[in-house]
Every structure is written in structure tokens, then in C-alpha cells.
Amino acid sequence: MNTQQANQPILVLPEGTLRTLGKGAQAANIAAAKQVADAVRTTLGPKGMDKMLVDSLGDIVITNDGVTILEEMQIEHPAGKMLLEVAKTQDEEVGDGTTTAAVLAGEFLKKAGELIEQNVHPTIITKGFKLANKEALKILENISEKITPDDTETLKKIAITAMTGKGTEKASEHLASIAVEAVKSVISDNKVNQDNIQLEKKQGGSSEDTELIKGIIIDKEIVHPSMPRKVENAKILLLDKSLEIEKMETDSQIQITSPEQLQKFMEQEEKMLKNMVDKVIDSGCNVLLCQKGIDDVAQHYLAKADILTARRVKKSDMEKLARATGGKILSNLSDISENDLGFAGLVEEKKIAGDNMIFVRECKDPKAVSILIRGGTEHNTEEVERALKDAIGGIASAIEVGKILAGGGSPEEEVAKGLRDFSQKYSGREQLAIQAFADAMEIIPRTLAENAGLDPIDILVNLRAEHEKGNVNAGIDVYNGKIIDMKERGVIEPLKIKTQAIKSASEAAEMILRIDDIIAASKLNKDSGSSGGMSGMGGMPPY
Ligand code: ADP
Ligand code: MG
């Protein structure tokens, strides 16, 4: 490489590296993002279809949840992966609206691609998009309405809207009430920590049997057959210490030379265990939930004292138990005071779908609650779980931000209209970029219409006309093909679903547009002899 001659290319990158430059790079990225967006587009809205995803082990997921689909798709292309990131951010920040976010990002890029074709430089486009993004958020803020945590009816509508089209329709009223009550229980300082809502799935029954438990479900059995199966007015000791004789850390040996000595040794051990159990009994508890192990002898004494006991409870469950029952997790048996104990109206063991589980119910003012999800099949319970997560996310962000919007394509159309007016302040190519952003917003009502088998052009014409008349909440009745007031229809969403989707989608689009050079390293041969697939140009085996 040290004899550089004229015309001879200088090799900067390793052999096998794939490089795409300029418009080619943009076109490739846009095409990939569009493909990914198109894959989830058909699932949007109440009439959206489901996808059946089969992974490499043959496991099947049937869903219309945007982020689930994108995750399971195992997208390879980097720009496609960025759309997955958009959906994931949406999922983390709001918990619903993932399809909307991905579809928007794809459409922003598609419209940008059309401008690039007309020789508008990507920098101008990203500048226009930034302006439009900011203005769009203002428009949404202006049309949003206030909500308080006491407005149970509206919160229920948010939950039902979030679950529409998820295959949980017949139980949606029931599930919506559960979601609202669950979120309300765990509000503190107007913040909702969704981790404090435990979702436990057990196949069997039907989705209508899904139940809210004001407390926690523990997937464990009571350790001893002669302990009570049910304790009312439970005083619960939460213990993070084993009731076993600690094994020596060092390699030590005890020499036992006679049967009497062995007897003594065992009696000593038993005494130590009994001492520990006595301390548990002295605490005044009638339920013991232990994160660590419990020796058989200790179990026996606990049973004699009628203490309902479970061992090896998961750490995360212990933390939730503390929040639900108001008890403290103790790692020491000395000086336990009454105040350290948690309280529950009822602790009981029940057999659900063949497994014994312990239910800690009727906690006073619990700061953590559980939902026991039931459904006829595994797919059922999983879809109920996803629907509930969307509902919980929706309610939570409505409460946190305190603002809501009507749905059904109405806010997107209102933004499109507002941005078209706003674009008049600018001239030339920037104006084009803002208008492209406005047009892209209409992908949501357009898709809702298409997925419902309606004529998207007719619908959009009518929708625009209604918004021109000032009907801010005009959206699509996907069941009757009419334009209606979505707020009156009860289709309500949290403001943040839309603001977050627009923000992430437009930022991702801007980022992808700024790329004019894709340098892809050649793939490492992960395991030779595997089915391989398309390794492209970079997959040359090393010689
Ligand atoms: P996402 O993953 O984006 O939440 P969904 O499949 O849940 O995707 O669809 C959400 C869209 O469906 C939103 O635009 C919402 O306003 C709309 N939508 C929900 N319920 C209705 C309804 N009853 N009528 C019309 N549109 C609805
Ligand atoms: Mg949704």
C-alpha cells in the first residue's frame, strides 16, 4: 500500500465494506423506513388487521400492537431499526400509540423523499420539519382539554379507545374499569409508576374473568400442608433472611464420634431454628412472606403456630408487597415492632389453572396492585395483557400531563390544517417542507379509512371540509364511514400520545435525512454453516 500511483484508488476502508453515498444513501434509507412503516400500517385503528408472527423456534404471536410487531420482525436495515426505536420510545414514554409513531415517521420520510426528487436539499427539509414539528405541538396543545384524576368516566373512555381493535372488545368495559382503578390506586404526586401495577397471566376462564386485586399475587405455594390456607386481617412479616442454619463459609469439619453427640448436635440445630421462629411468632404476625429459604424444621414450628408462610418470594414481588401492605422488608429478626408488619384484609391460597398462588388482598390504600389476567388461550391472555398495558399507559399519561384530545384522525387533520396556514409565513422551499409535513400528518386519517375499507379520498375531502368549518374534533366513524364528532363519540386519547409520536417521528426522520453516506462493515461470519440467508456483498468468508 505504500506505492501510491496516480489513478490507483486508495483503500481507506477494509475490504468488503459496503458504501452508499449521497442521494443513493437517502433513497435507500427512505425506502427501508417506508417498508417498515407499511408493515405496521394495516394494523392501525379499530378496524386494523392483526399480524401473525412466527419466530425461529416456531412460537407464534398474533397481535396488532405496533412495537410488538416491529420487535418480532428482526429488522436488519439500520434506517428500519430507527423506526423500531421510534416505536420503543413511544412505548416507554406513553405506552400506547406505537403504530401511529412508526407510521408517521415512515410518512415524513416518504414526503421528504419526494422533495429530494424535486431537488430540495435535505438541510432545507429538516429545517422545515423542525419548524413544523414545533408548530404542530402548539396546535395540539391549543385543542387539548384538561382532565383530572377524578374524572373516572373520561379515563374509562381513554382506556376503551386504547383497547379498541385489540380483540378484547367483549370485555372492554370490564377491562377499562380495572385499568382505571389500578392506575388510580398507584398515583402519587400526580405521577404514575406503572411498575407498581403487577400483571399476572393465567390461562383459563375468559377475558371477562380478569380481576383487579388490591394487593399482590405471589406465584408460590404455602410451604406446609397444615398451615392455614386463608388468613383474615393478616399481619404480614416481610423477611429478607433465611430461616435456615447458615452453612460455614470456610471449609470446616465437625467430628462426631458417638450417636449421643449427633443427637446433641441436631438438637442444637433445632433449638437455633426454634429460636428464630419464636422471634417471628413474637412479632405478632400471622403471615410470613420470606424472600429466602426456610428449613423443614422451621416450617414445622411455623405450622404449629398457624402462620401462613411462603418462601423464596421474588425480590420484585417483595418490593411490591411492601408498597401494597405498608410493611417493611426486614433482614434481621431482632426488635421487630408492630409497625414493621404489613396489613391485608385477606391472604389466601387459591388454585388457578392448576397452580397454587397466594393472593394478598384487600390492602388498605395499597400503593401497588395486581391484575390477574384470564383468557381462553395463551394468545388471548397475551393480547389482553397488551391491551391492558396500552390502556394503563393511556390513562397514566392523561393523568400525568392532565390533558386529552379526541381521536379518530381529528387531531392529525387539525394539525395538517394548522400547518398549511402556518406555512404561508414562509416562502420557497421551506414552505414546501412544512406543507409536506402537513400532508404527512394526514396519513393517520387516511390509514384509519383505508383499514376500515372506506374510500380514503372521499373521507379526507369530507374531513378537511369539516375542519375548515371549525369542527376541531371531526374524525372518522370507521364503522359507518361518516365524519363525526369524536369527542361526542367518546373516542378520547391523552395529549401525550400525539405529541410524543410527532416528536419522535419527526426527529427520527430528520436524523435519517441528514445521512448522506452509509458505510457498512462486512458482516462477521457468526456461525459458519448456518442457514445464512442474504449476507449481501459483505459476507465473504475469510480465507
Ligand atoms: P397505536 O399503536 O398507534 O395506538 P392503534 O391500532 O391503537 O394504534 O390505533 C390508534 C388509532 O385508532 C388512533 O388514531 C385512535 O384515535 C383511533 N381510534 C381508536 N378508537 C377509535 C374509534 N372508535 N373510532 C375511530 N378511531 C379510533
Ligand atoms: Mg393504541
Of 2-6, 224-228, 363-367, the poorest mean pLDDT is in: 2-6
- Cα-based distances in Å from 225 to 297, 300, 309, 382, 538: 14, 10, 10, 33, 63
> Which atom, in ligand 1's list, is nearest to the CA of 501?
3
CA of 163 to the centre of ligand 2 (A): 6
Fold classification of 216-248+260-365 is: GroEL (3.50.7)
pLDDT digit string (tens) for 145-194?
999 999 999 999 999 999 988 877 788 999 999 999 999 999 988 888 88
**Rounded Cα gap, residues 434 and 527, in angstroms:** 48
CA of 12 to the centre of ligand 2 (A): 47
pLDDT digit string (tens) for 490-504?
999 999 999 999 999
Q: In 3-state terms, what secondary structure has residue 10?
A: coil
Residue ranges per structural domain of the chain: 3-146+405-520, 216-248+260-365
- In the block, residue with C-alpha cell 394494523: 43
Does 5 have pLDDT greater than 60?
Answer: no
Does 10 have pLDDT greater than 90?
Answer: no
Q: Give residue 516's identity as a one-letter amino acid code.
A: D
Which residues, 6 or more positions from 347, have their beta carbon under 8 angstroms from its beta carbon?
230, 231, 234, 236, 287, 308, 358, 359, 360, 361
Sequential DSSP letters for 202-236: EEBS-GGG-EEESSEEE----S-TTS-SEEEEEEE
Nearest CA to ligand 1 atom 20: 161
Active site residues: 65, 98-99, 390
**Bridge partners for 484 per DSSP:** 475
Q: Mean pLDDT: which of 69-78, 228-237, 369-378, 513-522 is highest? A: 228-237
pLDDT digit string (tens) for 464-475?
999 999 999 999
Does 39 have pLDDT greater than 60?
Answer: yes
pLDDT digit string (tens) for 191-224?
888 889 999 999 888 999 999 999 999 999 999 9
Best residue among 107, 160, 163, 164 to mutate for probing ligand 1's pocket (most ligand atoms within 8 Å of CB) is 164
At residue 53, φ and ψ (nearest 5 deg) are -110, 130
What is the dotted CATH code of the domain comprising 3-146+405-520?
A: 1.10.560.10
Nearest CA to ligand 1 atom 14: 408
CA of 496 to the centre of ligand 2 (A): 13
Rounded to 5°, the CA angle 417-421-424 comes to: 145
Q: In 3-state terms, what secondary structure has residue 9?
A: coil
Q: Residue 6's pLDDT is what?
A: 61
**Rounded Cα gap, residues 331 and 315, in angstroms:** 13
**Rounded Cα gap, residues 23 and 242, in angstroms:** 65
Does 533 have pLDDT greater than 90?
Answer: no
Q: In 3-state terms, what secondary structure has residue 278?
A: helix
**Bridge partners for 347 per DSSP:** 231, 360
pLDDT digit string (tens) for 107-145?
999 999 999 999 999 999 999 999 999 999 999 999 999
- Tell me the ligand closest to 45's alpha carbon: 1
**Rounded Cα gap, residues 526 and 535, in angstroms:** 11
- Tell me the ligand closest to 63's alpha carbon: 1
**Rounded Cα gap, residues 487 and 406, in angstroms:** 5
CA of 291 to the centre of ligand 1 (A): 43
**Rounded Cα gap, residues 406 and 456, in angstroms:** 20
Rounded to 5°, the CA angle 343-344-345 comes to: 130
**Bridge partners for 372 per DSSP:** 200, 211
Task: Residue 422: name the closest of 136, 104, 110, 115 by CA.
Answer: 136
